[in-house]
Amino acid sequence: MKRLSRLARLVLELVVLLAIYQIGCEIAFWLNWPIPGGVIGLALLLAIFASGAVKPSSLQTGAGLLLAEMLLFFIPPLMSLLDYGALVRNEGWRIMLVIGCSTLMVMLVTAVTVEVVCRLKDRAAEGQA
């Protein structure tokens, strides 16, 4: 019975995450924004977490499963490279340069954001003490 309960919780968490993603896609479509629906969905999820309406731990199992199986989400794009072998041979170094630079930029922005948030939290904690 406990196993069934865990499975039901996992399915519910996955449905919630998928619904937030779908809402983000619909918002992007309705407003005709060039931002992907997944990014808008992540912003919605962040807003939900920040408002306190949902605790991040309540979606942890579903998110953990999606992260654990992330490789499955990348297999179709990798297989499509077989169709564009000439493009990869001719422009592959440029593509890799863009991927490398954008990954580095994301990592730097994330690191700076985490550092700023930690410092703000420390200041707020010192102000309360």
Convert the pLDDT of each residue in 11-23 to its tens digit.
999 999 999 999 9
Percent of the chain clearing pLDDT 70 (strictly above): 95
CA dihedral for 38, 42, 47, 49, sign (positive or negative): positive
pLDDT attached to residue 116: 93
pLDDT attached to residue 98: 92
Is residue 124 over pLDDT 70? yes
Whether 61 contacts 41, CB under 8 Å:
no
Exposed, middle or buried by CB within 10 Å (0-12, 13-18, 19+), for 17? middle
Query: Is the entire prediction scored with pTM above 0.85?
Result: no
